[in-house]
Structure formats: C-alpha cells, structure tokens
Amino acid sequence: MTPIRVVLVDDQHLVRTGLRALLERTPEITVVGEAGDGATGLAVVREQRPDIVLMDVRMPGTDGLTATRRILTDPGLADVRVVMLTTFDDDEYLFEAIRAGAAGFLLKDTPPDALREAVRVVADGNALLSPAVTRRVLAAVARTPLADPGRLAGLTERERDVLAQVGAGRSNAEIGAALFLSPETARTYVSRLLAKLHARDRAQLVVIAYETGLVRPGET
C-alpha cells in the first residue's frame, strides 16, 4: 500500500509533534514535512508534493488562508489537498478557505482514530465536512448577498436536486437513497456537477449550493 504523504503546517510545535505522533501510528500515513508558518509551509509543500496538507488557520506572517490559496492556485500542486486545522472561532476564515478550495476542516481536538480516518477520506478524494463544523462555517453565507443564481442555469432539474443534497452534506449513498438512484449514479452526477460548475471538489459544491440560494442555512 502506498503511504498517504502529509505535511503539517502549524505555528505550535507541540501541536505538530502531537499530530505527527498520532498520524504515524498507522503505516499507511507518513508525515513528510512540517512548517511553523504559511510561507515556509508553501515551500515545504512545493518540495515534497504531499497528498494532504493539514493547515492551521491563524499563524504569524503568512496565515493559513493565504498559504492555502497559493497552494490551490499553483498548477504544479494540482493533486495536493488542504485540510484546515481549526477551532470554532474561525468561521469567517474557514468559509473563505473552503471557497478557495480547501477540502474541509479538522478540529484540533479531533480523536486520534477520527484524525487518521479523516486523512484517509480526503486522500480518497472526498470532502471532509462534518455537520458540526459545516453549520458554523456556512452560516457566514446567510450574512452575505446571494451570488448569481444564474450560475445554475445550465443544470438539469436532477442535477439541481443532487447539488442540493451535496449542499446538505450527504454522501453518495445518502443522495442515492433520497433520490432513488444507485450510489454509482449519484457519483456520476456529482462528477458532472464538478465539471459543469468548475468546482475543485465536493466542498466547493457545498458552497455553491449555499451561495446561489439553492440551500440556505437551517434548511438541511
């Protein structure tokens, strides 16, 4: 099995040490680099080309949001996925991070088994959007004007239904059950939505669903 390669970016040395120890208790995850600020983190990511970056939001100098944007707009790092490390007081930053393409969020007090599973989930190409975190982040959408709902004009009715389900944080299996589709068909619809809406991953589809008013906080 090819190890999942991870870079840790956090200004607290003890946090990085703890994350490394927890992640490397399984042979399928390898920490290949660390950094204490966003600028150094970007350099390490460019050097190591990891699968996953665990990125703190608030750091001195170049913060996690700026570093995330730089990583996710670098054509040479197209396969790198960023997960933000957060506490519940970072709502606005996190919303901007997910708009920038972050694959999701992890709380710093995430239990060890959940931490390792989260890394596996994101490495498999899925978004990490737990309901508790997603509700807090996407509440920011309710405080901002709606983006152009015409962005969804090219979608079929079924595609809009699937996007609404993605916006509610549901898995392919749950979408299939709700819309009487097989999980494979639901996955096909999600892939089509990614292409039509020029979204990097499911996390960005969630934001699009909220920004265009297809789903509003409290409706899920």
pLDDT digits (tens, 9 = 90+) for 8-51: 999 999 999 999 999 999 889 999 999 999 999 999 999 999 99
Q: What is the pTM of this model?
A: 0.74
Q: What Cα–Cα distance (Å) separates residue 55 from each residue in 83, 110, 182, 193, 217? A: 6, 14, 35, 27, 26
Strands (DSSP E) contained in the chain are: 4-9, 29-35, 52-56, 81-86, 104-107
* 140-162 confidence digits (pLDDT tens): 655 555 566 688 989 999 999 99
pLDDT at residue 126 greater than cutoff 90: no
Radius of gyration of the chain measured on its C-alpha atoms: 17
Tell me what pLDDT residue 132 has.
58
Measure the CA angle with vertex 77, ends 80 and 42; round to 5°. Answer: 85
Q: Where are the domains of the chain?
A: 4-139, 146-211
| CA separation for the pair 205, 5 (Å, rounded) | 26
Cα 60 vs. chain centroid, distance in angstroms?
22
* 57-115 confidence digits (pLDDT tens): 888 888 898 999 999 889 999 889 999 887 755 566 767 777 777 888 888 888 888 88
3 state DSSP class of 56? strand
- Which fold, 146-211? Arc Repressor Mutant, subunit A (1.10.10)
pLDDT at residue 218 greater than cutoff 70: no
Alpha-carbon torsion, ordered 110, 111, 113, 115, to 10 deg: 20
For 9-35, give one letter per residue: b (16+ CB within 10 A) or e. Answer: bbbeeebbebbbebbeebeebbbbbbb
Residue holding tokens 């390792």? 116
Q: The domain 4-139: what is its CATH number?
A: 3.40.50.2300
Q: What Cα–Cα distance (Å) separates residue 217 from each residue in 34, 181, 187? A: 36, 25, 24
| CA separation for the pair 219, 217 (Å, rounded) | 6
Amino acid symbol at 194: L
With beta carbons less than 8 A apart as the criterion, state whether 122 and 111 touch: no
